[in-house]
């Protein structure tokens, strides 16, 4: 399947989402914030990024901006507990393919991944 970079400051979330991704046959790379995610991207070529929004040091919105500024067109799916409509609009405007509420339902997460991977870069 695909290599997925999961970015989240919550180790619990990384474990839970990682289980779903691995069960679906994906390889999972992990980072605890956007800054670490950019370092991981320097060494690896994931097919997709799955990122939380609220994180210390570099949040998900700043990660989206950095990816855009670098010309990186990897598909990104954002995860958040923030239910404000403006948050979704801001993420999509910065290039995110989808925004899912945390914790994501397994079927919603896998459907969003499949859709984003099918669309490609």
Instruction: Yes or no: say if 26 and 1 are a contact pair by the CB < 8 Å rule.
Output: yes
Q: Does domain 3-119 have CATH number 3.50.50.60?
A: no
| Listed residue (16, 30, 22, 20) closest to 2, CA to CA | 22
User: Tell me, what's the pLDDT at 17?
Assistant: 96
Where along the chain do its domains lie? 3-119
pTM equals: 0.93
Q: What strand order describes the sheet that includes 76-80?
A: 27-31, 3-7, 48-52, 76-80, 98-101
- Cβ neighbours of residue 118 closer than 8 Å, sequence gap 6 or more: none
pLDDT in tens, the chain (121 residues): 899 999 999 999 999 999 999 999 999 999 999 999 999 999 999 999 999 999 999 999 999 999 999 999 999 999 988 767 788 889 989 999 999 998 899 999 999 999 999 986 5
Instruction: Yes or no: say if 34 and 66 are a contact pair by the CB < 8 Å rule.
Output: yes
């Amino acid at each position: 399947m695909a290599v997925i970079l999961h970015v989240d400051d919550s180790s619990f979330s990384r474990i839970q989402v990682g289980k779903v991704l691995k069960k679906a046959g994906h390889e999972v790379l992990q980072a605890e914030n956007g800054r670490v995610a950019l370092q991981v991207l320097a060494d690896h070529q994931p097919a997709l990024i799955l990122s939380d929004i609220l994180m210390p040091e570099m949040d998900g919105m700043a990660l989206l901006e950095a990816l855009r500024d670098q010309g990186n067109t990897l598909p990104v799916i954002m995860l958040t507990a923030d239910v404000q409509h403006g948050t979704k609009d801001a993420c999509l405007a910065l290039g995110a393919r989808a925004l899912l509420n945390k914790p994501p339902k397994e079927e919603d997460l896998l459907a969003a991944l499949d859709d984003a991977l099918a669309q490609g870069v």
